[in-house]
Amino acid sequence: MNDTLFTTAVAPVPTGAVPVEGSRVLPALAAVDWQDVREQLDRDGVALTGPLLSPAQCRVIADTFDDADLFRSTVVMQRYGFGRGTYRYYADPAALPVLDALRERLYPPLARIANQWAARLGERTYPATLAELHAECAAAGQHRPTPLILRYGPGDYACLHQDVYGDLVFPLQATIMLELPGEDFTGGENVFVEQQPRSQSRAIVARPQLGQAVIFPVRHRPAPGSRGYRRHSMRHGTNAVQSGRRTTLGVIFHNAR
């Protein structure tokens, strides 16, 4: 075995929207060190931020899981061989102002990182705003929003996968922890596997705390090689929950076909 283990420890609310403390106000985002995020992604393949959401915001978002009217679809994972647990796609992220604000404000700095990666790999670049990205998604026939909430109980887990959804794929995404590890649940670590050409795969484990985000590649990342940069494919999943309830928010930026 040569695998490596890396561990990381206000606008008016629209009619019908879910009220969340602070609505679209997310002061923690102003403190994010995006250079550090980029360096973590370049070095480790994943990046851990400080808390982006308050405990109250985490609690209210977690409670939306039980409001069926907010979602366009629900997936019971064991029915499809995806693992065990349930996730639900929001029908309209704008109905949850804090989620809408998160996507809008996380996207521009992540687009800058994505465009640096694109230059290294000779790939397409991405627009500066989320609205422009979604216009490109619409032109490609991708109209369905992809933010989702995921819930796991004891014994639940997610198999390794990639969140592609269509031909147009924004290369970075985030998952935000909505429960308190060690108190609300145990186990359930975020797991990533990086495939390295002509070498064994590398395992990465991340343990975000309440309100923290893990940022990671959707499909691959650039890694330096002897002849410039090469693509390292990455997949992600979740280790089995040992006890309690684990709820996370998935922030994916491109829409689905």
Q: What is the CATH number of the domain that holds 83?
A: 2.60.120.620
Task: Write out pLDDT tens, residues 60-95.
Answer: 999 999 999 999 999 999 999 999 999 999 999 999
Task: Write out pLDDT tens, residues 160-179.
Answer: 999 999 999 999 999 999 99
Determine, yes or no, domain membership for 246: yes
Q: Which domain holds residue 49?
A: 5-251
Determine, yes or no, domain membership for 257: no
pLDDT at 24 exceeding the cut of 80: no
Task: Write out pLDDT tens, residues 137-150.
Answer: 999 999 999 999 99
Contact 87, 77 (CB under 8 A): yes
1: confidence class by pLDDT, cuts 50, 70, 90: very low
The residue to which tokens 């994916």 are assigned: 252
- The three-state secondary structure class of 79 is helix
What is the number of domains present in the chain?
Answer: 1
- Across 199-223, average pLDDT: 96
H helices present in 18-71, as ranges: 34-44, 55-63
Determine, yes or no, domain membership for 145: yes
Please give the C-alpha separations between residue 72 and each of 90, 232, 252, in angstroms, as whole numbers.
6, 33, 15
- Across 219-223, average pLDDT: 96
- Across 187-200, average pLDDT: 92
10: confidence class by pLDDT, cuts 50, 70, 90: very low
3-state SS of 129-153 is CHHHHHHHHHHCCCCECCCEEEEEC
So what's the pLDDT on residue 23? Answer: 55
Determine, yes or no, domain membership for 256: no
Phi-psi region of 215 (alpha: psi -120 to 50; beta: other; left: phi over 0): beta
* Distance (Å, whole) CA 178 – CA 102: 14
If one counts every other C-beta atom within 10 angstroms of the C-beta of residue 59, the result is 16
Determine, yes or no, domain membership for 91: yes
- Across 31-35, average pLDDT: 96
Any bridge partners for residue 236, and if so which? 161, 192
pLDDT at 106 exceeding the cut of 90: yes
The residue to which tokens 């890694």 are assigned: 223
Please give the C-alpha separations between residue 238 and each of 127, 132, 155, 205, in angstroms, as whole numbers.
31, 32, 11, 9
pTM: 0.90
